[in-house]
């Protein structure tokens, strides 16, 4: 079994940063479908990162 040093807090911050950037991208897309629909998919993937990492952070301190 491999053990690794992982900075979960830093991961949580990056996940939040990416989310905000994608949301910003949608705000400035002017309704371009090629941007909005792809952002929508990225946000769904970011949600999976939140479920896997961000949601649990408060219980790890």
What are the residues binding other proteins (CB under 8 A)? Answer: 1-8, 40-41, 43-45, 47-48, 51-53, 55-56, 59-60
* Residue among 25, 14, 2 nearest 50 (CA): 14
Identify which of residues 5 and 27 has a Cβ nearer to other proteins in the complex. Answer: 5
Q: Which residue has the tokens 């929508």?
A: 40
| Nearest residue (CB) to other proteins, 4 versus 28 | 4
Secondary structure of residue 57 in the 3-state scheme: helix
Residue among 27 and 61 whose Cβ is closer to other proteins: 61
């Amino acid at each position: 079994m491999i053990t690794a040093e992982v900075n979960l807090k830093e991961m949580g911050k990056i996940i939040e940063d990416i989310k905000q950037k994608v949301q910003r991208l949608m705000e400035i897309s002017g309704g371009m479908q090629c941007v909005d629909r792809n952002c929508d998919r990225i946000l769904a993937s970011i949600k999976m990162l939140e479920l896997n990492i961000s949601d649990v952070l408060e219980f790890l301190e």
